A = this chain, B = another copy of it.
Amino acid sequence: MDQTVNVVKIGGNIINDPQALNTVLDHFARLDGPKVLIHGGGKLATDLAGKLGIPQTMVQGRRVTDQETLRIAIMVYGGWINKSIVAGLQARGLSAVGVSGADFDLIRAMKRNPVPVDYGFVGDITGVNSKALNTLIQTGTTPVFAPLSHDGKGSLLNTNADTIAYEVAKALAHAFQVRLLFTFEKEGVLLDVSDESTLVKDLTPGRYAELRAQGKITDGMIPKLENAFRAIEAGVSEVILGKAEVLPRLIERSTGTRLYRNA
């Protein structure tokens, strides 16, 4: 259990910006020891759906994945973004493999119940193949996950990248020390979302509940932090939120928000 695996989730803000992505891949490739990258989507999927005239339906801020939208997700997330990152990591000397949940049967999911809201081809994770994941890591391979799971019956499913990061970190925590880095467009959790100087450096579930009750944590941060605290509870050693562009500074604790169990 001495070896630390860095599990890094990057989002659309990085994927949409080739220069930022290069910086992040530079940092990521230089991290010591075993590592896993999970990437989200980015605007290319929406752009492509627009160009192809495929209407995108949003319900409660979430995209509905119909058959055509699933195909776009598989093409853009599982193809273009995933393989471009893998080629970029190989160029930096890492032995990477780009995977969806179907590859090596890594992530199984169930199509979400269409009641009360039918989100279409969206998968809720039912299991991670820890054995296959551990084997990849132990043989020096860096898995790069697209936000896609599969149902074991031949269908791929759209799954939130934060959730994949959480499930992968949790599965690895049985065999390794795991540091989970949820990166996004901010320095970390901010008391005032427009002011980076209001960074919350340390956060316990108790403090999180207080801030949430005060209305200081809202919107997209809530599911992110829920996933993050669940990861801590599930045995992940460290969870850090912050900007991917400063990955080494997040790890050395000079910026970002670090989560802790309640004292």
Contacts and interface: CB of A to CB of B under 8 A. Distances in A.
A67 B104 CA distance: 31
Interface stretch (A145-153, A217-225, A249-257): A145-153
Q: How many copies, total?
A: 2
Interface in A39-82: 48, 51-52, 71, 74-80, 82
Contacts of A153: 91
A27 to B, nearest CB: 16
B52 A87 contact: no
Interface in A4-56: 48, 51-52
Contacts of A133: none
Contacts of A74: 79-80, 83-84
Interface of A: 48, 51-52, 71, 74-80, 82-84, 86-88, 90-91, 95-100, 102-105, 132, 135, 139, 141, 148, 150, 152-156
Contacts of A98: 100, 102-103
B71 A86 contact: no
Contacts of A76: 75, 79
17 contacts: A52-B52, A71-B80, A74-B79, A75-B76, A78-B79, A79-B80, A83-B103, A83-B156, A87-B100, A87-B102, A87-B155, A90-B105, A90-B150, A91-B152, A96-B103, A96-B104, A97-B97
At the interface, is chain A mostly helix, strand, loop or mixed? helix
A129 to B, nearest CB: 9
Contact of A79 (B51, B79, B105): B79
Given A52-B52, A139-B135, A103 B86 contact: yes
Given A79-B78, A87-B150, A105 B100 contact: no
A210 to B, nearest CB: 43
A25 to B, nearest CB: 9
Contacts of A97: 97, 99, 103-104
A-B CB proximity, top 8 nearest: A79-B79, A75-B75, A91-B154, A87-B102, A75-B79, A78-B79, A97-B103, A86-B102
A84 B156 contact: yes
A186 B148 CA distance: 36
B83 A100 contact: yes
Given A87-B150, A97-B97, 13 more contacts: A52-B52, A74-B79, A74-B84, A78-B80, A78-B83, A79-B80, A83-B102, A83-B148, A86-B100, A87-B100, A87-B156, A88-B154, A104-B141
A220 to B, nearest CB: 26
